Structure formats: structure tokens, C-alpha cells
């Protein structure tokens, strides 16, 4: 028995089933899973040279993420950045824009503690001595 647009709806308990001749309710299409909103910056624009984007980050003393293939192109000592080889992060490389699970983190020295361990207000990064 086909259902007309204005035909009544029959609702039965789950333990009962209708006799033959009734049409089943069409299943609603599955909704796509919600993607989490990511707080990561999209990075440099297409067409912008990676070196000029990194220079802009250095000028603003921002933290820089570079993958293993891009990290040797950045001279962190002359730019006054702290580099800890055992500190790895997962995210988009600021140089090649690829998402890598084993990126290197470069932190500007102004965000670090003073020598001797004195912490300035609002600072969280503390380098290891030695």
C-alpha cells in the first residue's frame, strides 16, 4: 500500500511489526560528521614567498613551526630564537605549508625567562640550562 502525501502515519511500538502491505518509513540521509574548529593560523597566502613570511614572523617575534626539511633554512641564532631539538610539535609548517607530525618549534628569546631563571610576568617558556 503506497502512502499518499496526506495519508495518516501509523506509529507502532518496536516489539510489534505491521502486517504485509505497509511501506516502511524512508530513512533520513546520514549527516556528515562535524569537523572540529581548529585554532591554527592558516599560514602564508598562496603566491607569497616562504622566506618573506618567516621574516614577517621574526619581525613580530612570533613562534615559528618548521618541519625537518625546512628547519635548516632558518638561522635561529641570528634571529634571536631559541631552539630545543627535543621539543617537537604537530602542525602546519610555516615554510612549506604541509601538516607534519614532527615539526620543530622556534621560540623568540623575548618570550623566554631571564638568565638565572627569573620569570617575567606573562612568560611561560623556560629553557633548560646545559
Model confidence over 13-26: pLDDT tens digits?
777 776 776 666 67
pTM greater than the 0.75 cutoff: no
Rounded CA-CA distance 89/106 in Å is 10
Tell me whether residue 88 is in a domain.
yes
Tell me whether residue 43 is in a domain.
no
Tell me whether residue 19 is in a domain.
no
Confirm if 19 and 12 have CB atoms less than 8 A apart. Answer: no
Tell me whether residue 69 is in a domain.
yes
Average pLDDT, stretch 90-112? 85
Quote the number of domains for the chain: 1
Average pLDDT, stretch 38-55? 76
pLDDT of 31 reads 75
Tell me whether residue 84 is in a domain.
yes
Domain residues for the domain of 74 are: 50-111
Q: List the helix and strand counts (H, then E) for the chain.
A: 1, 3
Confirm if 101 and 91 have CB atoms less than 8 A apart. Answer: no
Tell me whether residue 90 is in a domain.
yes
Amino acid at each position: 500500500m503506497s502512502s499518499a502525501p496526506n495519508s495518516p502515519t501509523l506509529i507502532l511500538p518496536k516489539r510489534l511489526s505491521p502486517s504485509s502491505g505497509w511501506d516502511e518509513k524512508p530513512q533520513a540521509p546520514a549527516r556528515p560528521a562535524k569537523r572540529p574548529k581548529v585554532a591554527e593560523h592558516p599560514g602564508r597566502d598562496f603566491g607569497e614567498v616562504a622566506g618573506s613570511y618567516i621574516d614577517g614572523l621574526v619581525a613580530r617575534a612570533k613562534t615559528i613551526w618548521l618541519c625537518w626539511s625546512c628547519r635548516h633554512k632558518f638561522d635561529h641564532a641570528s634571529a634571536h630564537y631559541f631552539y630545543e631539538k627535543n621539543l617537537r610539535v604537530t602542525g602546519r609548517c610555516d615554510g612549506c605549508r604541509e601538516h607534519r607530525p614532527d615539526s620543530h618549534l622556534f621560540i623568540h628569546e623575548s618570550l623566554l625567562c631571564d638568565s638565572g631563571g627569573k620569570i617575567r610576568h606573562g612568560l611561560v617558556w623556560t629553557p633548560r640550562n646545559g
